[in-house]
Amino acid sequence: MPELRVHNFALSLDGYAAGANQSLENPLGVGGLGLHEWAFATRTFHKMEGAPGGDESLDDRFAAQGDAGIGATIMGRNMFGPIRGPWGEENWTGWWGDDPPFHHPVFVLTHHLHEPIIMQGGTTFYFVKDGINAALERAFDAADGKDVRLGGGVATIQQYLRTGLIDEMHLALVPILLGTGERLFDHLDGGPAGYTCVEFVSSPSVAHVRLARDA
């Protein structure tokens, strides 16, 4: 059966997935970009940016796996952009330019209605006001038998964890300390229970932890 998967979700050693004071200038919060330096160095990321080169070792294998067998993505509104409250007149289309790297339907959780945004390369952003279960149902339908990837941010993953809907998580533990920001494993009410570590390996840059929901 198709699964809901989290991939390449980076955490600091003190558990933060984003720094404090997220903004247009600091989309991942102050210091948050440091969580993703390992990914920026991979061949997969270079290819996504249309650039040559990049590392092809262990980190690249995990980076590439995040796209394997994926037919749709779900993300929170904070991952889509910095706008809060009603959408207003601003014509925001995401952080990723005219040709986002998804190339499939993307379902954005929101409390405010928005018309779909059709981008180049096969990406269309759909805005779901009916909650996480409705978004998941629509994403599975759109994925047409493939898996669904769950993107950030922290609050979005926490919602799906609390309801036991995530089948697999790949967490990248980065050897930095942020000290403040958004912690993944706060306020979960037992949500992480029932997962087993099925892979734990490390490169010089990051430790990769893959957790699967118990059958």
Domain-located, residue 68: yes
pLDDT-derived band at 199, boundaries 50, 70, 90: very high
Domain residues for 104? 4-84+95-213
Domain-located, residue 90: no
pLDDT attached to residue 211: 97
Q: Work out how many domains the chain is built from and give that number.
A: 1
> What is d(CA 55, CA 104) in angstroms, rounded to the nearest whole number?
26
Domain-located, residue 23: yes
pLDDT attached to residue 197: 96
Domain-located, residue 209: yes
Domain-located, residue 31: yes
> What is d(CA 21, CA 52) in angstroms, rounded to the nearest whole number?
33
Average pLDDT of the segment spanning 147-172: 95
Average pLDDT of the segment spanning 47-70: 94
- Supply the pTM of this predicted model: 0.95
- For the stretch 162-184, pLDDT in tens is 999 999 999 999 999 999 999 99
pLDDT attached to residue 210: 98
Domain-located, residue 166: yes
Helices (H), 8-125: 37-40, 43-48, 58-65, 77-80
